[in-house]
Amino acid sequence: MTVKRSAMKKKLVVKLVLSGLSLSALLTLSACSGGDNTAADEPAAVNETEAVVVEPEAPAEAEPIVEAESTEEPVVEAADAGATLYEKQCKVCHEKGLLAAPVFGDKEAWAPRIAKGIDTLHMHSAKGFNKMPAQASTEVSEAQVHAAVDYMVAAAS
What is residue 140's three-state secondary structure?
coil
Quote the mean pLDDT of the chain: 75
Contact 82, 150 (CB under 8 A): yes
Determine the Cα–Cα distance for residues 133 and 139; give it in Å rounded to an integer. Answer: 15
pTM of structure: 0.53
pLDDT at 105: 93
What is residue 73's three-state secondary structure?
coil
Name the band, by pLDDT with cuts 50, 70 and 90, for residue 9.
confident
pLDDT in tens, 85-129: 889 999 999 999 988 999 999 999 999 999 999 999 999 998 999
Contact 97, 89 (CB under 8 A): no
pLDDT in tens, 33-64: 555 544 445 555 555 555 556 666 655 555 55
∠ at Cα 133 (127, 135), nearest 5°? 60
Name the band, by pLDDT with cuts 50, 70 and 90, for residue 80.
confident
pLDDT at 116: 93
Closest to 148 in 3D by CA, of 121, 128, 127: 121
